[in-house]
Amino acid sequence: MRTKDETKVQLILKTALKMVARVGLTGLKMSDLAKEAGVATGTVYIYFEDKNQLIFELYHYLMHVSINDLAPQISETDPLKIKIKKIARNYLEDNINNPEYGAFLEQYFRSPYFHKEDSTRVEKEITKQPLYQLMVEGQRQSLIKEADPELLVTLVYGMLNEMAKVSVYTQKPISTAEWELTFSVLWDGIRS
């Protein structure tokens, strides 16, 4: 059996994300993906059995990337509010710098590729998110509202997703004042 070349897997996944943002999930063709990635069509099929598996792997890839992108510059000694602020800012910047992430996830959750049993997997993925963990920690400290932590994470990320879209579509960066106001609104919405 052939060993997977992780460099090629990453290349194919990153190329697929860019293509989905441009042509959509339904417009994504394995042969076009191979051409754009600069590999043979057969190479794509070595790593991904079919388009369904590719899309499933894209979802997991994004979950892994986003979890890793959220935590930089966060110190264990930071107060809870500062940790949440840093994660929120990292999430916003990640979505502004990588608009294909949001484009893929929006389409994935509204597509036939997302199955009922996937909702359980999504719930498990959310509990791995650093922001989810901070919501739970904040509730233990009576700093965060007693509500389903998943709902609180959804509220925060939802607002940040929309803010990122506006920045991307208008080609206008988020000013420091806009960020401070946004975080103030977010914090007021989740704190006890």
CB-CB contact of 191 with 143 (8 Å): yes
- CATH architecture assigned to 60-190: Orthogonal Bundle (1.10)
Domain ranges of the chain: 1-49, 60-190
- Quick one: tokens of 124? 């498990």
Burial of residue 184 (CB within 10 Å: 0-12, 13-18, 19+) is: exposed
- Name the CATH superfamily housing domain 1-49: Homeodomain-like (1.10.10.60)
Give me the percent of the chain exceeding a pLDDT of 70.
91
Per-residue pLDDT reduced to its tens digit, 19-58: 999 999 999 999 999 999 999 999 999 999 999 999 988 9
Q: DSSP class of residue 191?
A: B
pTM above 0.85, yes or no: no
